[in-house]
Structure 1
Amino acid sequence: MRETGPGGARMKAPLGLVLAGGEGRRLGGADKALVPLAGRPLLAHVLARFEPQVEGCAVSANGDPSRFAGWGLPVLADAAPGGQGPLAGVLAGLDWAAAEGAEMLVTVAVDTPFLPPDLVPRLILAAEDMAVPLAVAAAPLGGELRRHPACALWPVALREDLRAALRQGTRKLGGWAAEMGARQAFFASGEAAFFNVNRPEDLARAEAMLSA
């Protein structure tokens, strides 16, 4: 069983979820998870960095799940249709994690191919003494500290709170995390680690970053 922990501490690693439900409008409506970067889909780049850090992994995406068949991972659709955003994906992940007997879930975005290799242990460290551990990644960008709530540690214990929040119209990932008292896990090299591929020029920059 894979274990992880900061400072040599040993604990069962959480389950992982790749949020891949975005519509990719700025990439011409492409399925972001399957957009090629250096000859491999974005999802492959994310999984290469993320899977070693978690106990098991799933993909959050609506539509035909067979497009992810090559990865052999569970594909979780939102429980309710209607464009509820990434929070609905987090809820689907928490329900899956609960069914698997897990206590924590870490999410990442499918358009972040340079995730830090210590993302999960540092999220756990940030939340280690919380009764209900909840932490989001934060990193400097343009001289300011920017939160990356798609890259976060979520406790399974909050899934009913999230279900109720979605019913009440909550849609903002970062807003709900902050409301629940999320802490920040700081990453000094975050401008590169959390680089998002949103537009064709971002894809070109990511290609250049890989080449360098």
Structure 2
Amino acid sequence: MRQCVGILLAGGLARRMGGGDKPLLEIGGRPILALAIERLGAQCAALVINANGDPARFAAFGLPVVADSVAGFAGPLAGVLAGMDYVCARRPEATDIVSAPADTPFLPTDLVRRLYEARQKADARIAVAESGGRAHHAVALWPVALREDLRRALVKDDMRKVSAFIARYANVNVEWPAEPYDPFFNVNRPEDVERAAVIAAG
């Protein structure tokens, strides 16, 4: 999709993994982030990594790294805003961003196309991925035009829940099958690394 920029959200604290960068953990000899880049990159005009701290740790991936502009690890919404800010400054031709957690190695290869189609059909502003009856609010198609609304929600309203912000606008969920594996499976715990390796090898 020519007018869409992908934002890989790597700004989390990874508390359940004892800290560190979950996207840099390896599955089958490759970083999880490399797998996410491969899946999402083919669907977007460009990719950006949202991460806080020293950006040099992602240098090997050759992508721009943007930090949250809202202080205090404000969660995925801050990463979405950072992506929108980047697009407005560097890719002004892009009308939309697609966000996804950077520790999600098996993103669907039809993610962007189906989000766009569903949003247009439903006349919605935001399209959200869903699998197994569960919405994945951090995996969504967002119009960059919501940038200042999102900034106000974060800074003035102290909003942190992605679902609460999405609920302010006409939105649509797009279902993917959760078998033979959930394409939105993400690595949150040490045992998830083993499970991901099995999926990747399968």
TM-score (norm 2): 0.93
Structure 1 stretch displaced more, 96-105 or 52-61: 96-105
2:109 pairs, out of 117, 134, 155, with 117
Aligned-partner Cα distance in 1 for 2:122–2:68: 28
Q: What amino acid maps onto 1:170 in structure 2?
A: M
1:185 pairs, out of 174, 177, 181, with 174
The answer (yes or no) to whether the contact 2:10–2:49 under 8 Å persists in 1 is: yes
Q: Shift of residue 81 of structure 1?
A: 1.5
Q: What amino acid maps onto 1:135 in structure 2?
A: A
Aligned pairs (5 A) from 1:93-112: 93-99=83-89, 100-101=91-92, 102-112=94-104
The equivalent of 1:7 in structure 2 is none
Mark the runs of 5 or more structure 2 residues left unpaired by the alignment: none
Matched residue pairs, number?
A: 198
The answer (yes or no) to whether the contact 2:130–2:175 under 8 Å persists in 1 is: yes
Secondary structure at 2:182 match in 1 = helix
Q: Shift of residue 30 of structure 1?
A: 2.2
Please state if 1:164 is matched with 2:160: no
The equivalent of 1:148 in structure 2 is 136
The equivalent of 2:60 in structure 1 is 70
Mark the runs of 5 or more structure 1 residues left unpaired by the alignment: 5-11
Please state if 1:27 is matched with 2:17: yes
Aligned-partner Cα distance in 1 for 2:22–2:139: 17
1:122-169 per-position Cα deviation (integer Å, ceiling 9, x unaligned) = 0101111566631110111xxxx1000111001011111101100111
The equivalent of 2:70 in structure 1 is 80
Aligned-partner Cα distance in 2 for 1:165–1:16: 22
Aligned-partner Cα distance in 1 for 2:62–2:166: 30
Aligned-partner Cα distance in 2 for 1:192–1:119: 13
Q: Shift of residue 179 of structure 1?
A: 2.1
Identity %: 47
Aligned-partner Cα distance in 1 for 2:201–2:49: 27
Please state if 1:126 is matched with 2:118: yes
The answer (yes or no) to whether the contact 1:132–1:155 under 8 Å persists in 2 is: no
Aligned-partner Cα distance in 1 for 2:149–2:95: 15
Q: What amino acid maps onto 1:162 in structure 2?
A: L
The answer (yes or no) to whether the contact 2:23–2:32 under 8 Å persists in 1 is: yes
Aligned-partner Cα distance in 1 for 2:39–2:7: 13
1:139 pairs, out of 128, 131, 138, with 131
Aligned-partner Cα distance in 1 for 2:99–2:12: 14
Aligned-partner Cα distance in 2 for 1:45–1:16: 14
Aligned-partner Cα distance in 2 for 1:80–1:164: 11
Q: Which runs of 4+ in 1 moved over 6 A?
A: none
1:39 pairs, out of 18, 21, 29, with 29
Q: Shift of residue 61 of structure 1?
A: 0.3
